[in-house]
Amino acid sequence: MEIWINPACSKCRSALTLLDAEGADYTVRRYLEDVPSEEEIRAVLGRLGLEPWDITRTGEAVAKELGLKEWARDAGSRDRWIAALAAHPRLIQRPIITADDGTAVVARTDEAVRDALSR
């Protein structure tokens, strides 16, 4: 399993603490430094069963600069959203855990982390 984190994020640190407490075997990806490509974002979205706007941090300054709240949320706009996430990884919700069964979860709660561990 892999976990996408921002080390400055308390939810990410919490998720790592829980993974360690459970003895999980995982790889850390600091996604602000090791930025996911558009294709990787598409793959994670498929694993999550979500759309790009579902994992976008619209409260970030860059989201306001881009006017994301005004962007359409439809199939025709999907590529635009994905390109924005790849260009501005700070917009990606965190942490994201890719589970061993091919699924993924946005692991902002202990329950979500445990859900990923059970897969």
Active-site positions? 9
The alpha carbon of 16 is separated from its chain's Cα centroid by a whole number of angstroms, namely 14
> Which helix (H) or strand (E) segment is 96 a member of?
strand 96-98
Q: Give the pair of three-digit tokens for residue 47.
A: 């694993």
Return the axis-axis angle of helices 38-48 and 78-87, rounded to nearest 10°: 120
